[in-house]
Amino acid sequence: AVYRSFTVVVAHHKTARMTDTVESEKVWEKCARLLMLNSIEKLATFLETVRRVLESINHAPGIPKFRTLKYSNASIANKVIEISGGVEFFHGLGFQTVADAENGKVLRLDTDDATRSEPETLENLNIGLQWLENTISTCRSCATSSTTGTSRSGCAECTIIVRLPTGASVSGGFMRGDKLHHIRSYACCYFTSQRSNAVRLVLPESRVEVTEALLDCTLEELGLCPRAVLFASIYSETEREALLSQKHDEQHLAQTGQKVQVKTEKKTKLDERQALKEERARILGAFKDDRS
């Protein structure tokens, strides 16, 4: 199947056992959007590298060197560290970036920690590999079906840069058919769960805040392709309460309008049925008069 939207892949991580918290789900959404920024060739190389690493761990989980990826290793740097979403993927599997006294900066996996036993960790790795295979397959489908994205320039049709309140900027890959609420969801990954509901987006040039209505607009409709910058900020508590109150009022008005519409439709149908009965009675009466 050809995927015109990457949403399917972002949602896929929720079925995996490894994403048992909101924070871990954010890791996978980050990873998915970042992977879209790579070319098909780079993703194929990354997938092959991941397979070799996980195969070594599954074969001999007790050997530390198989669970350690050195940043200083040229091959690891080229095939993992420099891949958009590469480090995030290993973080999702349970690897941690640490400073090692002997090897310097490394990605390291503890196969038997306080929260997960060795068999659970190995199962988690296999689930992660399956997720990556599905994700890269979707990236490939997006690239081959796109009229703008190519295997060399990246799989995404749109590169969206989100500027955070800290001053940092993060990028993510999207398709033209993706909607603005997909960008907001991605931006929320860089905020704590407690603050996610207060995240708002601001369009760069007009400095217009994205409203609920705009969230359902596609990136193509808003002219955000092939590249755009948006600002993410946090509502103050007062602003957030006012927004929630306004949203509640709008929902109440919408529900009231729907109820009135339903009543009107029911009355119209009853009137139509009554008119039909009267018409049938008139025709039947006329028919009897003709026969008599």
Look at the pTM and tell me if it is higher than 0.75.
Answer: no
Average pLDDT estimate for 186-208:
81
User: 85-129 pLDDT, tens per residue?
Assistant: 999 999 999 999 999 888 899 999 986 664 566 778 888 899 999
| Percent of the chain surpassing pLDDT 90 | 44
Q: What is the pLDDT of residue 195?
A: 73
More confidently predicted of 235 and 68: 68
Identical fold for domains 7-145 and 158-234, yes or no, is: no
Q: Which of 58-62, 142-146, 234-238 has the lowest mean pLDDT?
A: 234-238
What is d(CA 5, CA 195) in angstroms, rounded to the nearest whole number?
27
User: 273-287 pLDDT, tens per residue?
Assistant: 888 777 766 655 654
Fold observed for domain 7-145? Methane Monooxygenase Hydroxylase; Chain G, domain 1 (1.20.58)
In DSSP terms, 162 is beta-bridged to 170, 230
Average pLDDT estimate for 178-186:
92
Going 188 to 191 to 192 to 195, the CA torsion angle's sign is negative
CB 26 within 8 A of CB 14: no
Average per-residue pLDDT in the chain? Answer: 80
> For the chain, how big is the Rg over CA atoms in Å?
27
User: What are the structure tokens assigned to 148, written together?
Assistant: 């703008």
pLDDT-derived band at 77 (thresholds 50, 70, 90) equals very high
pLDDT-derived band at 5 (thresholds 50, 70, 90) equals very low
More confidently predicted of 69 and 116: 69
Fold observed for domain 158-234? Ubiquitin-like (UB roll) (3.10.20)
Average pLDDT estimate for 14-41:
76
Res. 259: pLDDT tops 70: no
> What's the angle, vertex CA 229, arms to CA 227 and CA 230, rounded to 5?
135
Listed by start position, the domains of the chain span 7-145, 158-234, 237-292
Most confident of 101-110, 144-153, 209-218, 239-248: 101-110
What is d(CA 47, CA 140) in angstroms, rounded to the nearest whole number?
12
